Chain A
Amino acid sequence: GEDVEQSLFLSVREGDSSVINCTYTDSSSTYLYWYKQEPGAGLQLLTYIFSNMDMKQDQRLTVLLNKKDKHLSLRIADTQTGDSAIYFCAESYGSSNTGKLIFGQGTTLQVKP
């Protein structure tokens, strides 16, 4: 089936690390993505990881993939107030030749000064 699950809310203090978790169902997903959405805006691609990788680091962002458990996480180091937003993980679903993305419900990250 098609299902991506995320916790709904995370609150951290400025300067701390944030870890947002996601589980997905399709073991054939080729890519897994993290998108950021600020209020009233579209989706901004943050980073993605290919399914044959365990980890990807991009400046303050670290993505960890546990393919056995179908678990994806996004770590934001030195979280800033500007990181406050909704974060979506998404998997590219299915073996058909369609780039259908299945999104989680989103995790609202609140960064307190």
Chain B
Amino acid sequence: ETGVTQSPTHLIKTRGQQVTLRCSSQSGHNTVSWYQQALGQGPQFIFQYYREEENGRGNFPPRFSGLQFPNYSSELNVNALELDDSALYLCASSLAKSTDTQYFGPGTRLTVL
């Protein structure tokens, strides 16, 4: 158990809809990173938040956005869903923002029809 939780476990949406995924970090961890894992692939970095500010972004379009809250919870929002957004979305929390070890949650499986 990493102490990182995510909700919901599974989600089905249709193309064009919007979705919000939630993550609760380990207490005291002020950094959260989000990753997208397509089927059969390794996780791809979406972005990282540190103390409620975005602290780095991967090659994802602006329709992927995030929020981090003072209570160690965070959200990943995806607008205008596309079929290729179907994936496992993982959040990871860490104590510091650069090289500290990241602890992953169980993920949210998003299916876009």
Query: For the complex, what is the distance from the CA of A42 to the CA of B41, rounded to whole Å?
Result: 13
- Decide if B48 touches A98 in the complex (CB within 8 Å): yes
Query: For the complex, what is the distance from the CA of A103 to the CA of B92, rounded to whole Å?
Result: 14
Residues A98 and B107 in contact in the complex (CB < 8 Å), given A4-B42, A45-B101, A105-B41:
no
- Decide if A99 touches B94 in the complex (CB within 8 Å): yes
Q: How large is the interface on B (under 10, 10 to 19, 20 to 34, 35 or more residues)?
A: 20 to 34
What is the interface of chain B, defined by CB distance below 8 A to chain A? 2, 4, 6, 31, 33, 35, 40-45, 48, 55-56, 58, 90, 92, 94, 96-107, 109
Q: How large is the interface on A (under 10, 10 to 19, 20 to 34, 35 or more residues)?
A: 20 to 34
- Decide if B103 touches A101 in the complex (CB within 8 Å): no
- Decide if B43 touches A43 in the complex (CB within 8 Å): yes
What is the interface of chain A, defined by CB distance below 8 A to chain B? 4, 30-31, 33, 35, 40-45, 48, 88, 90, 92, 96-106
* Other 4 A-B pairs with CB < 8 A, given A43-B92, A98-B97, A100-B58: A44-B104, A45-B104, A105-B41, A106-B42
Instruction: Give chain A residues whose Cβ lies under 8 Å from the Cβ of B40.
Output: 105
**Can you list 10 A-B pairs, Cβ within 8 angstroms, ordered by A?**
A31-B99, A45-B2, A97-B55, A98-B56, A99-B33, A99-B96, A99-B98, A100-B33, A101-B33, A105-B40
- Decide if B42 touches A104 in the complex (CB within 8 Å): yes
Instruction: Give chain B residues whose Cβ lies under 8 Å from the Cβ of A48.
Output: 101
CB distance from B103 to the nearest CB of A (A): 6
Please name the 6 residue pairs, one residue from A and one from B, whose CB atoms are nearest each other, closest first.
Answer: A98-B56, A103-B42, A43-B104, A42-B106, A30-B99, A42-B104
- Residue with the greatest number of chain B CB neighbours at <10 A, chosen from A31, A43, A45: A43
CB distance from B61 to the nearest CB of A (A): 17
